[in-house]
Amino acid sequence: MPQLNLVDSINLALRQELTRDESVILLGEDVGLNGGVFRLTDGLQKEFGEARVRDTPLSEGGIMGTAVGLAHAGMKAVPEIQFEGFLGPAYDQLVNQAARCRTRNRGGMTCPLTVRVPVGGGIHAPELHSDSPEAVYVHTPGLKVVMASRPKAAKGLLASAIRDPDPVVFFEPKRVYRSFKEDVPDDDYTIEIGQAEVLETGDDLTIITWGASVFRCLEAADALPDHISAEVIDLQSLWPIDVETIVKSVSRTGRAVVVHEAPKTCGLGAEISALIQEHCFLNLEAPVQRVTGFDVTMPYYKLENDYLPDAARIGKALRETAAY
């Protein structure tokens, strides 16, 4: 079983889906000859040809519109948007066309496309290259939204997304691309969309997080005093949310901290806090805390690390919640 990073695991998943299903087609800026801006599609055009791994003009609206058309024509389109900030020009096609397809046609037609999007900060990128807009797309009925933090999960989730009959936004935390390796099975497997994973078990509080923040949370949990143990949940599917796993854990521990990179106000942490209040109110021993980015535009690289939740800021919230 090879040890792969996130880049290599996503490349492997794309290669296996292109091999398994001839209706799968990749498209985007530089995904072919150059292998993608982060080289995630490296070698795929040479192996599968220009008809199935297509370079496109620099037009995100055009990429998404073409992907919607391909999906309506019976293909399984996998468009790549190079950075999350450029989802804006593709918003109309994604939200007003793809997401509404099943409802508009009363179930008679679906729109099977998987939008791959690098997301989040931490790589010292310029403006429009480091945002965390997942809440915008979670708030859009008709879209599924996932964000794998680890290579093994990424491979299985991407396979599930491509085989899904409806549009899926597949966010890729770019800070993790080459920072972490683990064993990834070569064989074909899927991970159910809507299924969280408990990475560490604990009895005193529950941490709920996703994306690159998973690693900061694990670091913070490991630094807790010996008499405090934290359960760490990688949400991985942002919509649908695995409410059962969250409720089961928080009902047992009585305390919860939600951690994400996106701004606090109307972030996904607010929705999860409300879910916990609705389902676990009588079990709560402390208010739910949120450790998030701030309600400002992601700053340039000199202040980037002050914006992103780090292990110290997360650890402070964990100790406060445990002591409440």
Confidence tier at 41 by pLDDT (50, 70, 90):
very high
What span, in angstroms and rounded, lies between the C-alpha atoms of 192 and 240?
Answer: 11
Q: Is the pLDDT of residue 15 over 90?
A: yes
Identify the pLDDT of residue 42. 97
Please give the average per-residue pLDDT across 156-163, as a whole number: 98
- Contacting residues for 174 by C-beta, under 8 A, at least 6 apart: 38, 118, 119, 120, 122, 123
For the chain, percent of residues with pLDDT exceeding 90: 94
Q: Is the pLDDT of residue 64 over 90?
A: yes
pLDDT tens-digit readout, 209-264: 999 999 999 999 999 999 999 999 999 999 999 999 999 999 999 999 999 999 99
One-letter identity of residue 1: M
Token pair for 8: 């290599």
Identify the pLDDT of residue 300. 87
What span, in angstroms and rounded, lies between the C-alpha atoms of 59 and 86?
Answer: 9
Q: Do the Cβ atoms of 293 and 304 come closer than 8 Å?
A: no
Identify the pLDDT of residue 79. 98
Identify the pLDDT of residue 112. 97
Per-chain mean pLDDT for the chain: 96
What span, in angstroms and rounded, lies between the C-alpha atoms of 18 and 12?
Answer: 10
What span, in angstroms and rounded, lies between the C-alpha atoms of 66 and 77?
Answer: 9
What span, in angstroms and rounded, lies between the C-alpha atoms of 90 and 97?
Answer: 10
Identify the pLDDT of residue 126. 83
Identify the pLDDT of residue 179. 94
Query: Would you tell me how many other CB atoms lie within 10 Å of the CB of residue 134?
Result: 26
Identify the pLDDT of residue 50. 97
Please give the average per-residue pLDDT across 73-82, as a whole number: 97
Identify the pLDDT of residue 123. 84
Identify the pLDDT of residue 301. 83
Confidence tier at 309 by pLDDT (50, 70, 90):
very high
Identify the pLDDT of residue 124. 86
Identify the pLDDT of residue 5. 97
pLDDT tens-digit readout, 93-121: 999 999 999 999 999 999 999 999 999 98
Name the burial class of residue 286, with classes exposed (0-12), middle (13-18) and buried (19+) by CB atoms within 10 angstroms of its CB.
Answer: middle
pLDDT tens-digit readout, 261-303: 999 999 999 999 999 999 999 999 999 999 999 999 999 888 9
Q: Catalytic site residue 279?
A: no
Identify the pLDDT of residue 316. 98
pLDDT tens-digit readout, 165-191: 999 999 999 999 999 999 999 999 999
Give the H or E element holding residue 234. strand 230-234
What span, in angstroms and rounded, lies between the C-alpha atoms of 205 and 201?
Answer: 10
Q: Is the pLDDT of residue 130 over 90?
A: no
- Contacting residues for 119 by C-beta, under 8 A, at least 6 apart: 84, 131, 132, 133, 134, 147, 171, 172, 173, 174, 211
Please give the average per-residue pLDDT across 34-54, as a whole number: 96
Global pTM value? 0.97
What span, in angstroms and rounded, lies between the C-alpha atoms of 262 and 213?
Answer: 10
Q: Which of 129, 139, 227, 279 is catalytic?
A: 129
Identify the pLDDT of residue 223. 97
Identify the pLDDT of residue 132. 94
Q: What are phi and psi of 182, to 5 degrees?
A: -155, 170
